[in-house]
Chains A and B, each alone.
Chain A
Amino acid sequence: MNIEEYKGVWVFIEQRDGEIFDVGLELLGAGRDLADKLEVELCGVLLGDGIKDKAEELYQYGADTVYVIDNPVLKHYRSETYMKAVGDLVRKYKPEIFVYGATANGKDLASAVATEVMTGLTADTTMLDIDLEKRMFEASRPAFGGNIMATILCKKHRPQMATVRPKVMQKPEPDPSRKGKVIEEKFDMKEEDLRTKVVEIVKAAKKGANLEEAEIIVAGGKGIKDEKGFKMVKDLADAMNATVAASRDVVEAGIIGHEYQVGQTGLTVTPKIYVAIGISGAVQHVVGMQNSELIIAINNDPDATIFNAAHYGIVGDAFEIVPMLTEEFKNALAEEQGKGVTTNA
Chain B
Amino acid sequence: MNILVCIKQVPDTKIIKVNPKTNTLDRSSAPAILNPYDAHAVEEAVRLKKEHGGKVMVLSMGPPQAANAIRKCVEIGADEGFLISDRKFAGADTLATSYALFKAIEKLEKEQGIDLVLCGKHAIDGDTGQVGPGIARRMGMPPLTNVINVRNVDEKNKKIQVDRKIEDGHEIIESDLPCLLTVEKEINQVAYSPFPNMMRAARYKPTVWTVDDLDDVDIKQLGLKGSPTIVGRMWPPDKSSGAEIVEGSTEEKVKRVVSVLMEKPELFASKGGEK
Contacts and interface: CB of A to CB of B under 8 A. Distances in A.
A and B together in one complex: yes
Interface of A: 21, 76, 78-80, 83, 103-105, 107-108, 110-112, 114-116, 118-124, 138, 142-157, 195-204, 208, 214-216, 240-243, 272-273, 283, 286-287, 290, 294-297, 302, 305, 307-316, 320-321, 324-325, 328-329, 332-333, 336-337
Contacts of B93: 120
B269 to A, nearest CB: 7
Contact of A308 (B98, B171, B240, B270): B240
A333 B172 CA distance: 48
B196 interface: no
B243 A79 contact: no
Contacts of B179: 195-196
20 contacts: A79-B133, A111-B132, A120-B93, A121-B94, A122-B229, A144-B18, A145-B124, A147-B25, A155-B228, A196-B173, A199-B171, A204-B168, A204-B169, A283-B237, A295-B243, A312-B244, A315-B245, A324-B251, A328-B255, A333-B262
Contact of A148 (B25, B138, B250): B25
Interface string B242-268: 111110001101111111111011011
Nearest to B251: A324
A108 B145 contact: yes
Contacts of A316: 250, 253
A114 B136 CA distance: 12
Interface stretch (B57-65, B69-77, B159-167, B204-212): B159-167
B50 interface: no
B179 to A, nearest CB: 7
Given A83-B137, A120-B93, 11 more contacts: A107-B145, A108-B143, A146-B237, A149-B237, A196-B144, A199-B161, A199-B173, A202-B171, A272-B267, A309-B240, A332-B262
Nearest to B247: A315
B237 A286 contact: yes
B257 A312 contact: yes
Contact of A215 (B98, B233, B267): B267
Contact of A241 (B13, B137, B229, B269): B269
Nearest to B261: A329
Interface of A is mostly: mixed
- Contact-residue size bin, chain B (C-beta under 8 Å from the other chain): 35 or more
B164 A154 contact: no
B145 A104 contact: yes
Given A104-B165, A122-B229, A152-B229, A79 B240 contact: no
A149 B175 contact: no
Nearest to B124: A145
Nearest to B233: A151
Contacts of A151: 231-234
Contact of A79 (B142, B239, B242, B271): B142
A338 to B, nearest CB: 11
A132 B227 CA distance: 23
Given A112-B143, A273-B267, A202 B170 contact: yes
